[in-house]
Structure 1
Amino acid sequence: MHIQVSSRLRGIALTSTILTGLVVPAIAPASAQSTVASQVAVASQPNADEGDIVVQGLRAVTATKTDTPLKEVPQSISVVTIDQIIEQGALTLQDSQRYVAGVTNAGTDTRGDFSAIRGFQSVIFLDGLKRNFGYVYLPQSEVYTLDRVDTLLGPSAVLYGAGSAGGLINMTSKRPSFQFGGEVTASYGTYDRKQGQVDLTGPLGSNIAARLTAVVRDSNTLTDHLPDNRVVVQPSIIWQPTADTDITLLGLYQRDKVGPSNFLPITASLDASAATPRIPSSRNIGEPDFDTGTKRDMSATLLVNHKLSDAVSFHSGTRIEHDKTSYGQFFQSAYSFAPFFDPQTGLYDAAQPYPDSSGKLVGQVPRSVFGFRARYTSVTTDNRVEANLDTGPFSHKIVVGLDYQWFKQLARQAFEATTPINIYDPVYGNYPEPTFLPQTRQTLKQFGVYVQDQIKFRDLASLVVGARHDNLRTSNTGLPSTNDNAMTYRVGLSVNVTRTLSPYALYSESFQPVAGLNQFNQSFKPFFGKSYEFGVKWQPLPTTLARATYYHIVENNHIVPDKDNPLVSVQAGKQTAKGFEFQLDHRLRRDFTLTLAYSYNSARNTGERLQAEGLPKNTASGYGVKTFKLDGDTDLKIGGGVRYVGKQGSGDPSNAFLVRRVITPDFTLVDALAEVNHGRWTLQVNATNLFDKFYYAQCSQYAYCVPGDERQVIATLRYRL
């Protein structure tokens, strides 16, 4: 039987990383011992031809930091491969999570990679190292530089330190190969989007290989007068001095020129009426010249993997990163539902937008301006030793590691009231330059030590136990330094009741430091989260994996308004999220792929009976792709998906400072794919929001709405070398 494993980069040797039981190609030298698992399972059907061969990963790395069979991992994991990212037309990291159960976001957010997992803000990792330290305005990640995106749901402090109770997202960069291959791509689409891409890899010698991935984009956006331009260069090189050692160096340079996300006045969007007509989703109520800013990101990552013996190995990752951000935004400043301004009386009134003498709507909206200029520098490193040993019927995978994170932010910001604008007939440029405050400095240092033991009893059960100690020190200009210590634990059990069915149970913890001081000039305590998760994983075929999960997360020490004085915050809150998730993934290369996802999440804060702000209770999605073989060199790929997002609420009517609770209506969107492959050429057309459904991604109690993305069609021509 002749078996050929093919990929989008023709001629590249593939290994497979197993993180969800799906096909997860990772471009790497076949002999490398890396954090990317290298075991591959090949399955075929009787009389199968080359297109029916299945390359299927069966192991996990992100959840345990070891090469572990997926069924033995007692935690929910989802993976989106680069093939899925391309098929689904995902343009950002947020887009890549559209069909992942448990992940939500409030529409496109150009400020950075922000998503919620199980109702909590996620933490972003790149190649196993933390990338976002809180709410920082980094450039959005370029998905073309990635090999896959792993979503680990639930607290993961034992292995990754301070972070969200909901989970984390870990991106894996493309790596060099010792076989030559590559592709060149050009695309054009909605908003006059023009993008070129190149991805080349190959050997430089007998034990050295390199790769270069680059992206250039020139594009407009949904918002009038704002660009989405980008230049990315990602070189990488791998050196294998021996069969037991590989050293990989990854570089990244990225420069974006983008504007902020659009926030429209609620009175002229969700609450539009005959008196206050709806304004287009593209309407810019800011100032294009001030709002358009530049973000620059430069980083170098060193990955070292060394096999000390058959039982012991060492893994290390270190990254140095420097970012420079210029961000600005003019936005509606009314904390009310009466944003319109009468130039004759000098008063605001929601009843009329006040036509002028010619009958044109005036609709003056008061605005504020926020400006932010920052430099970020970070150093992160994770180093661990893995030992494998047997004690009678038990086998152990023991990991002992330490990590260190250092982050510094130098920032200047402006925040002040400014001139109003007519939202029906905007005229730009009439505003005073905002005044930036003196520079502030924030530093964060975190040192953690962790240990984990995976105990396997024959092929019947697997127990994972782990503990970690962290010390975290933060300092801010004008505030006393804070020092926090935390112990976190994790224990999980997975049982193979049959060859294909594995129920599991997990207890895990998280902690997250809080910046700032309370009204008594005291530091806030860190958030502490505890999670109980029960689920079952079913893998009837090497190409099919389903998981059903129930979880209950409680995060303590949340900051809430004082009942006696809503203008003062106290640390007496508790955020609870509990729900159910279902995910099914099936991938048969060059035949049929299917992804189904559903999640129900009930998230509430202390003393509130309503769903937490901006979080839908119900989300559901499904995406399928079918490949038809036309002749020996040509095939046709047709696919599509449906996404449902339930209604969302914002505001608590019991709060006297709010007029009412704002409800964002639910919506359903359809995506589509058509692709023709002929020899080395591919022509692909993706449409997101195919039927151009009008919707709002999220509306807030603060009197604004984020417009949903319009239909976007992109045609891509690809040539594989």
Structure 2
Amino acid sequence: MSSENKRKLTKVRASIGASILALTSIAPAHAQSADTDIIVTATRATTATKTDTPILRIPQSINIVTDAQIETIGARSIVEALSYTAGVAGGNDNSLGDFNYLRGFESVLYVDGLKRNFGFVYLPRADVNALERIELLVGPASVLYGAGSSGGITNMQSKKPLFEFGGSVSASYGSFNRKEGVVDVYGPLSDTIAVRLVALARDSDSRIDYIPNNRVLFQPAITWKPSEKTEVTALGIYQRDKNPPNYNVVPLPASILAAPGRRVPGSRFLGEPDINGKGYKKNGAATLLISHEFSDAIRFASSTRYSKAFTDQREVYVAPYANPLDPFLDPAKTIVPRNIFAIKAHYRTFQSDNNIAVKFDTGPVTHKFLAGVDYSYFRQLARQAFDVTTPINIYNPVYGTAPQPFYFPQTRQVVKQTGFYAQDQIDFGEIASLVLGIRRDRVTKTESFSPRAVDKKTTKRAGLTVNVTPTLAPYVSYSESFLPVSGLNQFGNSYVPLSGKQKEVGVKWQPYKTTLLRATYYTLKEDNALRTDPNNPLNQVQTGSTKSKGFEFQLDHNVAKDISLTANYAHGTVKQSGEFRQRDNTPKDTAGLFATKTTAITDELSLRYGGGVRYVGKQQSGTPAAFPFFRLVTPSYTLVDAIVAVDYGNWTLQVNALNLLDDQYYPTCYNFGFCANGEPRTVQGTLTYRF
């Protein structure tokens, strides 16, 4: 089975598609507070331009979530960390990966500006405890990053050494017997050398019976800063996860369309403990980050990473069936068919991105010109198994009936990419700023049993920001993307690259350094769109285009020891050419509100409390040509989260509850057979000591 077919099959089973809401950090609140009472976060970003640029001057949507916000939300994964971020659609917790969609298109994941996922690979999921922030550049971004999604990129920035001693130690316990300890220590060894270590150990069950959620992580880092003009940072990471697939898709007649008494519990395991529970994932990487200022006008930056990873994943799961309304194999309607999939994969990646930024003036106009080249090499060696296996009684499961997987011969995939890019940030004093960019890429793909493929692409970008006042900045932008598609379709044919183009207009308003409002309208088109084959729901074909357009609103206000607030609303339509309906499993509307309040009890003791409300609109699924007898509607849902924390000196005791009311909901349902159960209420308490 091709990797692209497996990708589709896995996504069918995964619970992707529940749109989540907003909370991009960006500046905080009142100017009348003392500086020690103000949290000024995310007023600048590097992902959007690869230069240190104020967010107010970036002519494109950029969303940022800091480590403090991740902690406040109580997020345990990237998907949960982005659950209050405008324009993002995620879904249920899915141990296969950190899937999030930006404006209807799957985001490509980066770490420290270098790509983390090359297509659909089975890496361990990123850990939020190792990150200092997450930056989302929304919309096409190929000019700076090469092959990427039409929806944008998610750039996770690692915690780095600081030249001051500090850190934290925390222990937490929560739902599903989750026990976790985290250590984060940083400080200087000398005037020029600083180090940091993040370490984590977790032992946990999961919301699905028989599925563990264990992790070990070490992330050491060292920074050498011989002068204010030179900085070299080396980061390492080792991570090992034992967290088999936990999406647990359930047949429609036992989930959203279940008759009274026929719904399968959300914790019900429908695989095989001796097969699903055997696999693990591990990842090791070394990253080198270099920056040097030759003068006030010339700056060099370099990012290089080498990584190796291994995945042993085995899964028995409920199989698609010819009649999704009646998948049962017996008259009592209790037994359903199952498939088995397994993969043993070795991944090896090398990447390097190097650029020079030059500042110069042409009369009254100031330029910041950036020129760079990047290279990436990705290799995957994999043995896969796919077959029909024994059925199961979903109401009274008996395990131990399925044989172990039989692996096909090893396949090899190599993807190489080289890109040359140039960008000019032109500042017309206090009047306006203009960003222009162009890039040329060459991508080669070599896969077993298929000829070598070469893709070449030139992408462009332009954006104008007008400084109406020092705090009000309307903007307009145009950007492009392209994304080669790995794997072959079910008939052994390769896919052509996806190509995206976006037009965006918006306004950003920052009346105080603690408050930012953004309103955006966009139109986005992706050509060579992948869509479900109407004659075979497990195959994908490329035909026509996908168009996305919509409006996003976001307000962030953040004052330490007082009130923090984020509010947002997003409306977007995503349609495929030739169809006059919203694309399957894509909600049109999402909205959210999250607020916290801090009340001082004594000089050292304070109470923080608050919560959030997340709304995800209804979704539909169904291609009339494939299943003409019905079109499935997944209802909208609203979830409530909560936080209460006591801060005493250097100690914090914090309790978070996600889905506080324990609402039953379905993030995603597919008309050809399945629903994924939503996350039940999860509660976690964390005791932290900071020094």
Which TM-score tier does this pair reach, normalised by the shorter chain?
over 0.9
Match of 1:246 in 2: 231
Q: Which gives a bigger RCO, structure 1 or 2 (Cα 8 Å, sep 6+)?
A: 2
Contact 1:51-1:590 within 8 A present in 2 as well: no
Normalising by structure 1, we get a TM-score of: 0.89
Match of 1:80 in 2: 65
Identify which range, 483-492 or 100-109, moves more after superposition.
100-109
SS of the aligned residue for 1:105 comes to strand
Deviation at 1:173, TM superposition (A): 0.5
2:631 corresponds to 1:667: no
Question: By how many angstroms is 1:700 displaced?
Answer: 1.0
- For 1:269, the aligned partner's letter is S
Shift of 1:529: 0.7
Segments of structure 2 that go 5 or more residues without pairing to the other structure are 1-23
Structure 1 residues 210-243: Cα deviation after superposition (integer angstroms, max 9, x where no partner): 0010111011111011100000110000011233
1:435 equivalent in alignment to 2:406:
yes
In the alignment, what sits opposite 1:196? 181
Q: Which residue of the other structure, out of 507, 517, 531, is the alignment partner of 1:536?
A: 507
Partner of residue 127, structure 1 = 112
Are 2:689 and 1:719 equivalent residues in the alignment?
Answer: yes
SS of residue matched to 1:158? helix
SS in 1 for 2:320: coil
* Kept after mapping to 1: 8 A contact 2:534/2:625: no
Out of 311, 327, 337, the residue aligned to residue 313 of structure 2 is: 327
CA-CA distance at 1:715 after TM superposition: 0.6
Give the CA deviation at 1:497: 1.3
Question: 2:537·2:672 contact (CA, 8 Å) conserved in 1?
Answer: no
Retained in 1: the 8 A contact 2:652–2:688?
Answer: yes
Answer yes or no: is the 8 Å Cα contact 2:557–2:564 preserved in 1: yes
Label 1:476 to 1:172 Cα distance change in 2 as closer, same or farther (>3 A): same
Q: 1:226 to 1:484 in 2, by over 3 A?
A: same
Matched, 1:145 2:130: yes
Contact 2:30 2:512 in 1 (8 A): no
Distance in 2 between the 1:636 and 1:153 partners? Answer: 35
SS in 1 for 2:556: strand
Shift in CA distance, 571/370, structure 1 to aligned 2, threshold 3 Å: same
Q: Which one of 473, 495, 514 corresponds to residue 466 of structure 2?
A: 495
- In the alignment, the residues of structure 1 paired with residue 561 and residue 538 of structure 2 have an alpha-carbon distance, to the nearest angstrom, of 59
**SS at the partner of 1:696?**
coil
SS of 2:591's partner is strand
Q: Deviations over 1:174-224 (max 9, x none)?
A: 011111111110000100000001011111122111001011101111101
State which of 412, 416, 425 in structure 1 corresponds to 2:396: 425
Distance, in Å, in 2 between the alignment partners of 1:391 and 1:189 is 60
Change (3 A) 1:299 1:488: same
**Structure 1, 508-517 or 390-399: larger mean CA deviation:** 508-517
- Equivalent position of 1:453 in the other structure: 424
Once structures 1 and 2 are overlaid, which stretch shifts more, 672-681 or 558-567?
558-567
Gap change, CA 1:602 and 1:543, over 3 Å in 2? same
Matched, 1:309 2:314: no
CA contact 1:43–1:54 (8 Å) conserved in 2: no
Q: In structure 1, what is the equivalent of residue 9 of structure 2?
A: none
Alignment partners' CA distance in 2, 1:679 and 1:563: 61
Query: Once the two structures are superposed, what CA deviation does each residue of 1:529-585 show, in whole Å capped at 9, x if it has no partner?
Result: 110111111111111111111111111112456789999865332111111111111
Distance 1:483 1:674, change over 3 A: same
Give the CA deviation at 1:291.
1.0
Of 184, 193, 201, 2:169 maps to: 184
Q: Is the contact between residue 44 and residue 54 of structure 1 (CA under 8 Å) also seen in structure 2? A: no
Unaligned runs of 5+ in 1: 1-18, 24-41, 343-348, 354-362
Contact persistence 1:604–1:610 (CA under 8 A): yes
Instruction: Pick closer, same or farther for the CA change 1:220–1:516 going to 2, 3 Å.
Output: closer
**Corresponding residue number in structure 2 for 1:22:** 27
CA distance in 2, matches of 1:43, 1:510: 39
Q: CA deviation at 1:625?
A: 1.0
Find the aligned partners of 1:286 and 1:660 in 2 and give their Cα distance. 28
Aligned to 1:685: 655
> CA–CA distance in 2 between the matches of 1:289 and 1:67?
51
Give 2:217's match in structure 1, choosing from 214, 232, 240: 232
> Residue 187 of structure 1 aligns to a residue in which SS?
strand
The offset of 1:106, in angstroms, is 2.4
CA contact (8 A) 2:150 2:482 kept: yes
Deviation of 1:660 (Å): 2.0
In percent, how many aligned pairs have the same letter? 49
Corresponding residue SS for 1:303: strand
- Following superposition, the deviation at residue 518 of structure 1 comes to 6.9
Which of 280, 289, 292 is the matching residue for 1:294? 280
**From 233, 241, 246, the counterpart of 1:256:** 241
- Cα 1:51/1:179, change in 2 over 3 Å: closer
1:340 partner letter: F
1 CA distance for matches of 2:125 and 2:110? 13
Q: 1:704 aligns with which of 627, 650, 674?
A: 674
> Does residue 96 of structure 1 match 2:72?
no
TM-superposed deviation, 1:491: 0.4
Give CA-to-partner distance per residue, 1:331-365, whole Å, 9 cap, x none.
121332221122xxxxxx6xx42xxxxxxxxx111
Amino acid at match of 1:579: G
User: Pairwise mapping of residues 308-457 of structure 1 onto structure 2 (< 5 A)?
Assistant: 308-335=294-321, 336-337=323-324, 338-342=326-330, 352-353=332-333, 363-457=334-428
On the 8 A contact 1:56/1:542 being kept in 2, the answer is: no
Q: 2:146 aligns with which of 161, 178, 182?
A: 161
CA distance in 2 between partners of 1:59 and 1:111 (Å): 32
Q: Is the 8 A contact 2:547 2:576 kept in 1?
A: yes
In structure 2, distance between residues paired with 1:681 and 1:633: 10
| SS across alignment from 2:667 | strand
User: Within 5 Å, which residues of 2 pair with 1:544-559?
Assistant: 544-559=515-530
Partner of 1:621: 592
Q: Which amino acid aligns with 1:490?
A: R
Q: How does 1:467-546 map to 2 (within 5 A)?
A: 467-516=438-487, 523-546=494-517
The whole-number CA distance in structure 1 between the counterparts of 2:319 and 2:39 is 56
Partner Cα separation in structure 2 for residue 313 and residue 608 of structure 1: 49
Deviation sequence 1:583-637 (CA, Å, 0-9, x none)? 1111112222111121111001122222112111101111111111111111111
Paired residue for 1:32? Answer: none
Deviation track 1:36-72 (CA, whole Å, cap 9, x = no partner) reads: xxxxxx9852xx5575345355332110111112221
Q: 1:564 and 1:714 mapped to 2: Cα distance?
A: 46
Structure 2 counterpart of 1:663, one-letter code: V
Query: How far apart, in 1, do the equivalents of 2:590 and 2:229 lie?
Result: 46
**Partner AA of 1:22 in structure 2:** A
**SS in structure 1 of the partner of residue 70 of structure 2:** helix
Instruction: Rate the CA distance shift 1:304–1:566 in 2: closer, same or farther, 3 A.
Output: closer
Question: Of the two, which has the highest radius of gyration?
Answer: 1
Contact 2:355 2:371 in 1 (8 A): yes
Between 1:365-374 and 1:459-468, the stretch displaced more is 365-374
* Residue 58, structure 1, aligned to residue 28, structure 2: no
- For 1:144-194, what per-residue CA distance to the aligned partner results, in whole angstroms no more than 9, with x for missing partners? 000001111000000000010001110111011111111110000100000
Q: Aligned in 2, Cα 1:63/1:596: closer, same or farther, shift over 3 Å?
A: same
- Confirm or deny: 8 A CA contact 2:373 2:421 kept in the other structure: yes
Distance change (3 Å), C-alpha of 1:125 and 1:286: same
Matched pairs, number: 664
Distance change >3 Å, CA 489–CA 299, structure 1 → 2? same
State whether residues 58 and 465 of structure 2, in contact with CA within 8 Å, keep that contact through their aligned partners in structure 1. yes
SS in 2 for 1:401: strand
Equivalents in 2 of 1:365, 1:679: separation in Å?
57
Q: Which amino acid aligns with 2:329?
A: F
Please tell me whether the aligned partners of residues 291 and 330 of structure 1 are also in contact (alpha carbons under 8 angstroms): yes
Paired residue type of 1:197: V
